[in-house]
Amino acid sequence: MIEQYEQTLQDWIESIVAEGDDDALFASGYLQGHFAVVLSQLEVETEQDLAALDVKMSECLALARQELGDSDYTLVSDAWTQLSAKLAA
């Protein structure tokens, strides 16, 4: 399951690099760092499904809410919405 998440992330990042603007590149890079941390946490847990991933990413986004300004947070939140849709597909 983890490998599938990683591959989906890489495919998504590649599309952002090829087609995205500076805002999309920022948001995807920021999100990629948090996503990597979450995946490393999931590797040692029994629950590795999409629901578990979503819970952990929600926790990361709560932290991002404190770290980022409103416009940057919106970019990152929107990026997570895009990525999570790809993961669910």
pLDDT digits (tens, 9 = 90+) for 37-79: 999 999 998 889 999 999 999 999 999 999 999 999 999 999 9
Q: Contact, 80 vs 34, CB < 8 A?
A: no
Q: What is the pLDDT of residue 46?
A: 86
Computed over every residue of the chain, the mean pLDDT equals 94
pLDDT at 7 (0 to 100): 94
- What is the per-residue pLDDT for 55? 94
- In the predicted model, is pLDDT for residue 35 greater than 90? yes
Q: pTM for this one?
A: 0.89
